[in-house]
Amino acid sequence: MNWLRKNSEVIILPLIYVVIFLLQKNKILNNYIIQIIMLAGVNIIMTLSLNLVNGMTGQNSIGHAGFMAVGAYVSALFSKIIFSAATMPPALQTVFFLLATIAGGIGAAIFGFLIGMPTLRLKGDYLAIVTLGFGEVIRSIIRITPTVGAARGLTGIPKLASLFWIFVFVTITIYVCRNYMDSAYGRGCLAIRDNEVAADTMGINTSKYKVQAFVTSAFIAGIAGSMYAHTLRYLHPDVFSYTKSTDFLVYLYAGGVGSISGSILGAFVLTALPEILRFMNEWRLVIYGGLLVVIILFRPVGMFGGKEFAFLKLKTGGIRHIGFSNLFQRKSKKTAVANEEISQ
């Protein structure tokens, strides 16, 4: 019983799924709401992936949609073009969906390695420029490749992703990120974020740690891409533009950069918000933008900056967050208090 109280997420996480599932079965949640939850799940995975680079390692990736594009196209290529999974029996479909997802992740990770290897050896913001360029290059390559539909987009991808699988992958990603942060690798990354020179002096192989975090992040982004492709069933290179990368940055910074709970909450709330605001018609994106400004003004560290859900508390303790306040080299009172709470 005591163990259960300490590890309540073992019950709570499956319970969340069961509740959503029951509500869906009984038509209380219609397909519209389920669709939003699924897209929010994809965005949560992407934001967690971005958090590994921007939040944990202190590097700047501003073209993360490029890795998502690689994952999406590789997995769609796998499930639609190489093995036409649409005509298979359901059990086999699931197997191929998982294989396609892993293939998408590996594809993105390979690109992550190729990009990260040379640029992460340098100190400074080179990664920002390179990832930005990478996103555009990937789009241009897709646009001229006839096998994946070129500029017309890839249609007829089998609908293999379901609420269940997205939920499973979100859960796995949360735990991978939590444990990564809690491991020696993660603490190395946190050290690099806080002071790269000091970390180097302490004997941390900074470029190795940065590349590891970046490749892991790219792999997770590839997984999210596969979920996206098999939910939406249609891919177009222009979907993965610079604007898409910015969306994830916004989710991350509004949710709380460096915080896993913040990434989850930011992605979920900001995916659902424009849909909730649909009754405002053409004003809805104005309100959406306005709310973002309010969040950043009143909570510069993001909604969950410097905090974690209880079940995600790290065993090693002490996550110090970075947020917009650091960008302006100014610490609000709240930030200082939040810092103290955590370090205690």
Per-residue burial over 58-70, b if 16 or more Cβ lie within 10 Å, else e, is bbbbbbbbbbbbb
**Alpha helices (H) along the chain:** 2-6, 9-25, 31-50, 65-76, 90-119, 126-143, 163-182, 184-194, 196-201, 206-232, 242-255, 260-276, 284-298, 324-327, 333-343
Complex with other proteins: residue 238 or 341, whichever CB lies closer: 238
- Smallest gap from residue 64 Cβ to other proteins (A): 16
| Strand partners of residue 154 | 235
Q: Does 10 engage in binding with other proteins (CB under 8 A)? A: no
Contact 179, 199 (CB under 8 A): no
- Residues 73 and 12: their CA atoms lie apart, in Å, by 34
Q: Does 227 engage in binding with other proteins (CB under 8 A)? A: no
Q: Site for other proteins (CB under 8 A): which residue of 6, 123, 152, 330? A: 152
Mark residues 286-315: x for contact with other proteins by CB under 8 A, - for none.
------------------------------
DSSP string, 99-128: HHHHHHHHHHHHHHHHHHHHHTTS-STHHH
Q: Does 153 engage in binding with other proteins (CB under 8 A)? A: yes
Residues 237-276 interacting with other proteins (rule: CB under 8 A): 238-239, 274-275
Complex with other proteins: residue 155 or 183, whichever CB lies closer: 155
First and final CA of the chain: distance in angstroms? 27
Q: Does 279 engage in binding with other proteins (CB under 8 A)? A: no
- Smallest gap from residue 52 Cβ to other proteins (A): 23
Complex with other proteins: residue 121 or 159, whichever CB lies closer: 159
Q: Site for other proteins (CB under 8 A): which residue of 2, 3, 27, 333? A: 27
Q: How many residues bind other proteins (CB under 8 A)?
A: 31
- Residues 150 and 336: their CA atoms lie apart, in Å, by 51
Handedness of CA 82, 83, 86, 91 (dihedral sign): negative
Helix axis angle for 260-276 and 242-255, nearest 10°, is 120
- Smallest gap from residue 80 Cβ to other proteins (A): 13
Interface segment toward other proteins; rule CB under 8 A; list 3-11, 119-127, 152-160, 305-313: 152-160
Residues 122-151 interacting with other proteins (rule: CB under 8 A): 150
Complex with other proteins: residue 39 or 189, whichever CB lies closer: 39
| Strand partners of residue 235 | 154
Complex with other proteins: residue 182 or 247, whichever CB lies closer: 247
- Smallest gap from residue 285 Cβ to other proteins (A): 5
Q: Does 234 engage in binding with other proteins (CB under 8 A)? A: yes
Q: How many CB atoms lie within 10 A of CB 102?
A: 17
DSSP string, 248-287: HHHHHHHH-TT-HHHHHHHHHHHHHHHHHGGGGGGGHHHH
Q: Does 4 engage in binding with other proteins (CB under 8 A)? A: no
Q: Does 5 engage in binding with other proteins (CB under 8 A)? A: no
- Smallest gap from residue 71 Cβ to other proteins (A): 15
Complex with other proteins: residue 39 or 312, whichever CB lies closer: 39
Q: Site for other proteins (CB under 8 A): which residue of 36, 98, 287, 314? A: 36
Q: Site for other proteins (CB under 8 A): which residue of 2, 5, 26, 87? A: 26
Q: Which has the closest alpha carbon to 248: 10, 33, 53, 84?
A: 53
- Residues 106 and 222: their CA atoms lie apart, in Å, by 7
Point out which residues bind other proteins (CB under 8 A): 19, 22, 26-28, 30-33, 35-36, 39, 150, 152-153, 155, 159, 228, 232-234, 236, 238-239, 274-275, 278, 281-282, 284-285
